[in-house]
Structure 1
């Protein structure tokens, strides 16, 4: 009996040591790989911004992406509460998603205002500017909001008139493949190009169920909903109305249009 207890104790000690060694290796690998992970995340973000701006080509190398981003994209910090540019933080390193979790850098949204279901909204965000001959060519804004199963994270690009959509794309989501996941479908994404956000100063962009009637006077402001994915379509509609409205980039767009940003 004593021998059996001793054998069991040794087995437990060996198992504990193996677990300890493995945990040290895993933790060490995580720490060592973190800079690479952060760099890859930044690279993916830059690819998404360039793609939504219609810059570059598919299959560009990491160095090509970095060079084109540096050449064509200017990141600027925006105070969402004043609707003006800010120098409070470095726009190139500020992370709005991290700020949204910090009570000092964000605000809780009451249910009546939280149509995108994000719970908290950062007080500062970052926009991305593309210029041509010293003039605003495109404005790219980060957007996010809840669909059916997940929060969709993406960017919306508008032309220099600050009304015409240049593109909409999501770089991260967990929607159902073949249904809500069709937000990634190039055919659906292409419908956004050329649509108009505002009508007589009122935010009018809308995702509509049943298809857009080309004869409707509102057709220029409407995009077909995703087939079989009503809740994801509603989520896209809601997140755009939040981020382009008074609690998002609406005041900034108005100030930028008036030359007061």
Structure 2
């Protein structure tokens, strides 16, 4: 009787099993990739809808997005809409890593900790039934304690009032920095003002709680309890993306009808 317990046969069976498992896993990954990409796109659109305050509307994510939201691309240098980039195929985060489509940030400029800033950025215009601009949703990102936080900030048509904030990707500590996902904290942003009378960004996340009697309370949001560095990260990304290096020139042009 043949001996089936030899080292050679054991290795052969192990290798064959590894190859079969690799083929199965690789095949599954290829077959599931379109579904994963579709789910990622739906999640992306869901967060835009949430930031814009449209989650309660009837219809699927795709239906709400197609009927209420228009995607445009902005040249961050000029603060103008551009048709040089197709919004349907543009990947903003890939562009940020491409030296030919982005700029390197100096230490003083890079307050959000993103290293490079893309030349073009997508913006999402929410229109009412008359086709008038109701809300503008801006993509924002910045480093917190453990990770880069990716999210959306919605600004009302006046270009100066926050209509919503949401984050769709981060790896902050659950129960601490992860509270950026807490609905009650995100709700504090609604109605806050961005720019002061001098035109500079005044909106900020403070340590502790906002004093309602403070005349500048309209510019302040409570910091996250026990998450000082994450709160600072959110504060920095807000200052960056609503400042001169981000969407400030575009929002100024929008208010003046010159975007």
Query: TM-score, normalising length from structure 2?
Result: 0.94
Pair 1:172-2:169 in alignment: yes
Matched residue, 1:117: 113
> CA offsets per residue over residues 149-175 of structure 1, 9 Å max, x none?
111111000111111110111111111
> CA offsets per residue over residues 186-243 of structure 1, 9 Å max, x none?
1111110010001111210011112112122211100111111100000000001111
- For residues 184-195 of structure 1, the aligned pairs below 5 Å read 184-195=181-192
Pair 1:198-2:200 in alignment: no
SS of equivalent to 2:60: helix
Matched residue, 2:46: 47
Matched residue, 1:79: 75
Q: In the TM superposition, what is the alpha-carbon distance from 1:110 to its structure 2 partner?
A: 1.5
CA distance in 2, matches of 1:245, 1:195: 16
Matched residue, 1:134: 131
Query: TM-score, normalising length from structure 1?
Result: 0.93
**Residues 200 and 243 in structure 2, CA contact (< 8 A), matched pair in contact too:** no
Number of residue pairs aligned between Structure 1 and Structure 2:
255
SS of equivalent to 1:210: coil
Matched residue, 1:143: 140
Q: Which runs of 5+ in 2 are unaligned?
A: none
Q: In the TM superposition, what is the alpha-carbon distance from 1:147 to its structure 2 partner?
A: 0.7
Aligned with residue 91 of structure 1, among 87, 91, 97: 87
Q: Which runs of 4+ in 1 moved over 4 A?
A: none
Matched residue, 1:257: 255
Q: In the TM superposition, what is the alpha-carbon distance from 1:53 to its structure 2 partner?
A: 0.7
Q: In the TM superposition, what is the alpha-carbon distance from 1:89 to its structure 2 partner?
A: 2.0
Q: In the TM superposition, what is the alpha-carbon distance from 1:134 to its structure 2 partner?
A: 2.9
SS of equivalent to 1:199: coil
Pair 1:220-2:252 in alignment: no
Q: In the TM superposition, what is the alpha-carbon distance from 1:176 to its structure 2 partner?
A: 1.1
Matched residue, 1:159: 156
Supply the RMSD in Å over aligned alpha carbons.
1.7
Matched residue, 1:25: 24
Matched residue, 1:210: 208
CA distance in 1, matches of 2:56, 2:15: 52
CA distance in 2, matches of 1:94, 1:239: 22
Matched residue, 1:181: 178
Q: In the TM superposition, what is the alpha-carbon distance from 1:137 to its structure 2 partner?
A: 0.7
